[in-house]
Structure 1
Amino acid sequence: MKKILYRKFLADCFVFFIISLVSTSVIIWIIQAVNYLDIVIYEGRDYSVYLNYALLSFPKIVSKILPFAFFFSFTTVIARYELKNELIIFWNFGVNKINFVNFFLFVSFILFFIQIFLTSFVVPSTQNLSKSIVRTSDYNFVDNFIKIKKFNAAVKNLTIYTENKDKDGNYNNIYIKKNTGEDNFQITYAKKGIFKINNGNTVLELYDGENINLNKGNLTNFSFSKSEFNLSIFSSDTILYPKTQEHKTSDLVECILNLTDKSVKDRNKIRDRIHNCETKNLDNIIVELFKRINIPLYIPTLMLLSLLLIIYSKEKINYSRFRIIVFLIGFSLIVLSEASLRFVGNSFIKNLFIFLVPILISIFLYFYFIYKFNFKSPSK
């Protein structure tokens, strides 16, 4: 009978948890996916690139929402069971409260490892893959490079402006500035232009214009009746190398060990493999590791916090207030877990304290349960 009760309670918690997690993540994903439309609108990428990029952002959203959805779900279900007098069934069938706590603490550790897997492996991989798709994609919708009466600088070292576009697809009064080096540039003006495919490359065919070049202080110019401007040789402002949060966890650990080992003199090899593995970026690397490992440590803490609701009966006058206080403390812990990252740095003592905070809170809560359930005086 006890197994049936545990199975029913766990099923209710996880169904509510999955619904909360997925629904909230989908809403946030849809909002972010709208912002990602810039990949198509301003950079001229293919819609398949946009779709893949948007879908690969979903694991990151799930990992961010998971702690809150977990705490909210378990707190809600426990309170609902208490309000419907269903928790009494557990106690009447001889379920020991401390065993009840131990069981769900074990469940929280399973979720902890799932969250570690998400933050340490799945999210970095999907983030790196999504950026790689953008970095290696072509500009299939080149018309999006040009915005009517707007200076478009989506392409690196290139700014394009046009006055209007007629019904035949011709752009009128086109201005193009291409940066060719430090204090060097090329300015092209044409009365008309149109996109065409020439030998597999996308070119902007220009008519009746003038080209001005500034090279090492020397200014030259020439006029043309027809000219081709090849856009395929340019890249967008998308970062060409993986960011810190896109590297594998093992690479970040290796980088920290390499940077903190004073006996290592030549660090060029690891820099070639792990971009941004530099002393000036050490703080960011440590913060990223804390984000992946330390924040999931709050999941067992949140579980113990939600289980505080089994201590007090709904018959007590202050039960509703106690439930609100528990929820506010849990929400504060979630905010604390994110805010604590701002204090992570090169100080070992400070980092150790931040790392131990969720562990110490969990130990305190667990011993509080032991005190309440095993050493409770008969008068209470």
Structure 2
Amino acid sequence: MKKILFRKLLFDCLVFFLITLFSVGIIIWVFQAVNFLDIIVEGGRDYFVYLNFSLLNFPKIISKLIPFVLFFSFLYVIAKYELNNELIIFWNFGINKIELINFFIKFSFLIMLIQIFLTVLVVPKTQDLARSFLRTSNINYLEGFVKPRVFNDAVKGLTIYSNSKDEDGSLNEIYLKKGTGNTFQVTYAKKGKFKQIGKNQFLELNSGETISVVDDKITSFRFSKTDFNLSNFEDNTTTYKKTQEVATLDLTRCYHNLLELKFFKIDKTFQVENCRIDNIDNILKELYKRMIIPLYIPVLILISLLLIFKSKENTNYARYRVLIFLIGLSTIIISEMTIRLINEDIFNNIKFFIIPIILIVSLYLIYFFKFKFVR
């Protein structure tokens, strides 16, 4: 009977947790996907790149939501059980409250391992895949991002300006500047239109002039018609691999080599992007975020279980629920704030590494001595 009651409570918590997690996750993803439209509108990418880039950001959203949604779900369901007199059934069947704590602490470690799996393996991989779509894709919709009377510089090393744009996509009074510094090229044209030949894109220009400047030497020529090749240009979207997109194993190897540690035999020729001594703080923060922050999940579940200290008959029960919610919320905020305090000083970091462990042990001991011999 005990197993049935435990499973029923766990099932209700999980159902509410999963529904809330994916509902909120989809809402946030939709808002984020709208922001990613800039990839098409300003970056000139096609819809396939946009769709894949957006979908691959969903695991990151889920991993960010899990701690808060899990805490809120358990808090809500346990409070609901108490208000509906369902927790009394547990105590009437002889279930000791410490048995309930032990059951959920085991479950919390399972969720913690799932979260570590997400943050250590899944999220970095999907983030890298999302960025790879930008790295390997071409600018396919230049015609779409060029706006009249605006200096369009989404393409690296090229600025395009047009005074007006016809309904058929033709540009009027065009200005193009290619290059920077002492070496650049300026082209004027009365008319222009985008066209594609195979995989290459061109801007067909009519009635204009090109002025080239190379080390203060100026040359120019007029043309009645010419094609300006746009296929060799890249956009200004960040395409290099960020620290958060590097695999956890590579970050660990990088940290090991930068500090010249002797724990493992790692080839000194091992290279990874952003593996620099001036980036070591960011590397440590990323490793901390992936492997230590998930340890707060058992803490949050133990905090939500503080509700069983008081029954609904207590006059301050409503305030007590709010207090527990605020304690849990503060724990989440503090756990995120500790990321900023991580630096290359390993001895300074140890105290932040052990905080969640201390909290888990302390909370469990409170439950143990409170309920070990009491129903």
**1:345 corresponds to which residue?**
343
Q: Secondary structure at the match of 2:269?
A: helix
**1:318 corresponds to which residue?**
316
Contact 1:193/1:206 (CA < 8 Å) preserved in 2? yes
For residues 286 and 182 of structure 2, the distance between their equivalents in structure 1, rounded to whole angstroms, comes to: 37
Contact 1:146/1:152 (CA < 8 Å) preserved in 2? yes
For residues 328 and 292 of structure 2, the distance between their equivalents in structure 1, rounded to whole angstroms, comes to: 16
Contact 2:96/2:372 (CA < 8 Å) preserved in 1? no
Within 5 A, what are the aligned runs for 1:174-185?
174-179=174-179, 182-185=181-184
**5+ residue gaps, structure 1:** none
**2:156 corresponds to which residue?**
156
**1:261 corresponds to which residue?**
260
Q: Secondary structure at the match of 1:194?
A: strand
Q: Shift of the alpha carbon at 1:262?
A: 6.9
Matched, 1:100 2:94: no
Letter in 2 for 1:211: T
Deviations 1:71-105 (A, max 9, x none): 00000000010111100101111111111101100
**5+ residue gaps, structure 2:** none
How many residue pairs match? The answer is 373
**1:47 corresponds to which residue?**
47
For residues 53 and 59 of structure 1, the distance between their equivalents in structure 2, rounded to whole angstroms, comes to: 12
Q: Shift of the alpha carbon at 1:375?
A: 5.9
Letter in 2 for 1:16: F
Q: Shift of the alpha carbon at 1:185?
A: 1.4
Letter in 2 for 1:76: Y
**2:142 corresponds to which residue?**
142
**1:242 corresponds to which residue?**
241
- TM-score of the superposition, structure 2-length normalised? 0.96
**2:189 corresponds to which residue?**
190
For residues 26 and 64 of structure 1, the distance between their equivalents in structure 2, rounded to whole angstroms, comes to: 13
**2:356 corresponds to which residue?**
358
Letter in 2 for 1:326: I
Letter in 1 for 2:221: F
Contact 1:270/1:277 (CA < 8 Å) preserved in 2? no
Contact 1:120/1:292 (CA < 8 Å) preserved in 2? yes
Matched, 1:61 2:61: yes
For residues 185 and 268 of structure 2, the distance between their equivalents in structure 1, rounded to whole angstroms, comes to: 36
For residues 200 and 345 of structure 1, the distance between their equivalents in structure 2, rounded to whole angstroms, comes to: 47
Q: Shift of the alpha carbon at 1:222?
A: 1.6
**1:11 corresponds to which residue?**
11
Letter in 1 for 2:286: E
Contact 1:197/1:203 (CA < 8 Å) preserved in 2? yes
Larger deviation: 243-252 or 317-326?
A: 317-326
- TM-score of the superposition, structure 1-length normalised? 0.95
Q: Shift of the alpha carbon at 1:68?
A: 0.3
Matched, 1:200 2:190: no
Q: Shift of the alpha carbon at 1:183?
A: 3.2
From 280, 283, 289, the counterpart of 1:282: 280
Contact 1:135/1:238 (CA < 8 Å) preserved in 2? no
**2:31 corresponds to which residue?**
31
Letter in 2 for 1:18: L
Matched, 1:79 2:82: no
Q: Secondary structure at the match of 1:270?
A: coil
Higher relative contact order, structure no. (Cα contacts within 8 Å, ≥ 6 residues apart): 2
For residues 276 and 60 of structure 2, the distance between their equivalents in structure 1, rounded to whole angstroms, comes to: 25
**2:328 corresponds to which residue?**
330
For residues 276 and 131 of structure 1, the distance between their equivalents in structure 2, rounded to whole angstroms, comes to: 15
Q: Shift of the alpha carbon at 1:267?
A: 9.2
**2:301 corresponds to which residue?**
303
**1:252 corresponds to which residue?**
251
Letter in 2 for 1:337: S
Q: Secondary structure at the match of 1:303?
A: helix
For residues 316 and 166 of structure 1, the distance between their equivalents in structure 2, rounded to whole angstroms, comes to: 73
Letter in 2 for 1:303: I
Q: Shift of the alpha carbon at 1:109?
A: 0.4
Contact 1:205/1:227 (CA < 8 Å) preserved in 2? yes
Q: Shift of the alpha carbon at 1:196?
A: 1.3
For residues 161 and 336 of structure 1, the distance between their equivalents in structure 2, rounded to whole angstroms, comes to: 48
**Taking structure 1 as reference, are residues 188 and 268 closer, same or farther at Cα in structure 2, changes over 3 Å only?**
farther
Letter in 2 for 1:94: G
Contact 1:43/1:144 (CA < 8 Å) preserved in 2? no
Within 5 A, what are the aligned runs for 1:199-218?
199-218=198-217
Letter in 2 for 1:54: S
**1:374 corresponds to which residue?**
372
Deviations 1:113-156 (A, max 9, x none): 00001111111011100110111112222212311111111111
For residues 200 and 60 of structure 2, the distance between their equivalents in structure 1, rounded to whole angstroms, comes to: 36
For residues 39 and 106 of structure 1, the distance between their equivalents in structure 2, rounded to whole angstroms, comes to: 44
For residues 67 and 183 of structure 1, the distance between their equivalents in structure 2, rounded to whole angstroms, comes to: 54
Letter in 1 for 2:351: F
For residues 215 and 31 of structure 1, the distance between their equivalents in structure 2, rounded to whole angstroms, comes to: 46
Contact 2:139/2:235 (CA < 8 Å) preserved in 1? no
Q: Shift of the alpha carbon at 1:182?
A: 4.2
Q: Shift of the alpha carbon at 1:7?
A: 1.0
Contact 1:256/1:282 (CA < 8 Å) preserved in 2? yes
